[in-house]
């Protein structure tokens, strides 16, 4: 079936050190020295071996000796931000579900950097984990090659991309933008602005922006995007609110913020300016962060299925490696939905 994938046999298709040596035309010992004692090799040898490593997507196996028995009990996961609340429920759900079956979660953060994600993936693959869970589908070309060659289950979460080969567990960020506009338009708002994330590299927020813009155009409106220059989310939200409200009679009737942190900064700035929310301007966030219902006014937001994503991702991992019983193939496509939480701000 198109939306299912067979369990992958561990060890099948892994690029070996010997294969790298053959491609570079050197000995296996030279390849080993490339990773462990590079100073002992000439510049020419290092360049030849490095080119072969890159071409084949080789990852040195860091697991040896007594550690080998533990290698199948760890799952690596890369998320854009460990410290923020947006991914906390997903991380916790993955960890809890894996732990219930004797597996541990090893975390790394990319901080919305594709290069950092690539480094984390290389490091994880070197330890030969039971599986790899990645947040988002925005990868470097090298990471794409590593994923394709990995001899373990790979699950991509949050950003649902059915055309991609890894197991997909998530939702459509584009649809979130669509839902945000339809919700506000249905409440009578017509001049609706969108505030982008202040964190560079958050391409998923750009998908939400595109859904917002296309839907607003379809409804006869004119998209209005604001890009903060402040890096701190609360300050970026404040900057956006002050700039948008300074438009006088042409200011927006409602604002969709890329996340709840930005929206909170906007709400606080509106309060300081004496703005009546939602009477003079409605505010809608994304994420349903823990503080959202405690703000004054409480923040209307779009809630992603964060914990459900984590639970399903972990179950698909456990099914893929044969820990949980399964009839047929592993379900590859797992599309979930978000929902609007109507509170006081809009």
Contact 278, 213 (CB under 8 A): no
Whether 91 shows a pLDDT value over 90: the answer reads yes
Torsion of CA 240, 241, 244, 248, to 10 degrees: -160
- Whether 263 shows a pLDDT value over 60: the answer reads yes
pLDDT value at position 328? 86
Written as six digits, the tokens of 321 are: 């490696």
DSSP one-letter code for 29: H
* Separation of alpha carbons 42 and 34, rounded Å: 10
**Residue 16, pLDDT score:** 77
* Mean pLDDT in residue range 6-29: 69
Mean of pLDDT values over 84-112: 93
| 28-36 helix and 43-56 helix, angle to the nearest 10 degrees | 90
Most confident of 52-56, 256-260, 272-276: 256-260
CA 177 – CA 213 distance, rounded (Å): 8
pLDDT band for position 4 (50/70/90)?
low
Residue range 157-172, pLDDT digits in tens: 999 999 999 999 999 9
**Mean pLDDT, the chain, integer:** 89
Where along the chain do its domains lie? 173-303
Global confidence as pTM: 0.78
Helices assigned H by DSSP within the chain? 17-24, 28-36, 43-56, 88-99, 114-126, 141-149, 173-186, 203-218, 233-245, 260-272, 306-320
Give the pLDDT score at 63: 45
pLDDT confidence of residue 55: 87
Angle between helices 306-320 and 88-99 (to 10 degrees): 30
* pLDDT at residue 207 in the model: 95
Gap between the Cα atoms of 327 and 346, Å rounded? 46
Long-range contacts of 270-274 (CB under 8 A, 24+ apart): 270/241, 270/245, 271/296, 273/241, 273/242, 273/245
The DSSP-derived string for 38-57 is: GGGS-HHHHHHHHHHHHHHT
Per-residue pLDDT tens digits for 64-89: 444 334 457 899 999 998 887 889 99
Residue 335 CB coordination number (10 Å): 13
What pLDDT score does 5 carry?
Answer: 52
- Surface-to-core class of residue 189, CB atoms within 10 Å of its CB (0-12 exposed, 13-18 middle, 19+ buried): buried
Write the pLDDT tens digit of every residue in 213-245.
999 999 999 999 999 999 899 999 999 999 999
* Bridge pairing between strands 4-5 and 330-331: antiparallel
In CATH terms, the fold of domain 173-303 is: Rossmann fold (3.40.50)
Rounded Cα–Cα distance for residues 334 and 138 (Å): 19
């Amino acid at each position: 079936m198109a939306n299912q994938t067979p369990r992958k046999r561990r060890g099948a298709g892994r690029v070996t050190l010997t294969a790298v040596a053959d491609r570079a035309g050197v000995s296996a010992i030279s390849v080993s020295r490339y990773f462990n004692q590079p100073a002992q090799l000439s510049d020419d040898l290092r360049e030849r071996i490095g080119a072969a490593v890159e071409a084949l997507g080789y990852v040195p196996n860091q697991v040896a000796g007594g550690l080998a028995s533990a290698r199948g009990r760890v799952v690596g996961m890369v998320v854009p931000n460990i410290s923020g609340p947006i991914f906390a429920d997903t991380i916790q759900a993955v960890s809890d579900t894996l732990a219930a079956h004797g597996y541990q979660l090893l975390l790394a953060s990319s901080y919305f950097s594709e290069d950092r994600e690539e480094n984390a993936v290389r490091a994880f693959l070197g330890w030969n984990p039971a599986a790899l869970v990645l947040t988002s589908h925005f990868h470097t070309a090298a990471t794409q090659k590593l994923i394709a060659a990995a001899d373990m289950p790979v699950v991509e979460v949050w950003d649902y991309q059915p055309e991609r080969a890894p197991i997909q567990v998530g939702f459509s960020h584009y649809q979130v933008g669509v839902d945000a506009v339809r919700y506000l338009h249905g409440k009578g708002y017509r001049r609706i602005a969108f505030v982008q994330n202040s964190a560079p590299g958050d391409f998923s927020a750009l998908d939400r922006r595109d859904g917002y813009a296309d839907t607003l155009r379809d409804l006869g409106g004119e998209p209005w995007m604001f890009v903060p220059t402040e890096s701190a989310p609360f300050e970026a939200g404040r900057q956006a609110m002050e700039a948008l409200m300074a438009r006088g009679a042409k200011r927006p009737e409602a604002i969709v913020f890329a996340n709840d942190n930005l929206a909170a900064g906007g709400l606080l700035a509106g309060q300081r300016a004496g703005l009546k929310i939602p009477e003079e301007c409605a505010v809608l966030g994304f994420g349903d962060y823990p503080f959202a219902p405690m703000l004054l006014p409480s923040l209307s937001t779009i809630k992603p299925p964060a914990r459900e994503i984590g639970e399903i991702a972990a179950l698909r991992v456990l099914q893929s490696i044969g820990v949980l019983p399964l009839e047929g193939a592993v379900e590859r496509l797992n599309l979930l939905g978000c929902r609007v939480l109507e509170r006081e701000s809009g």
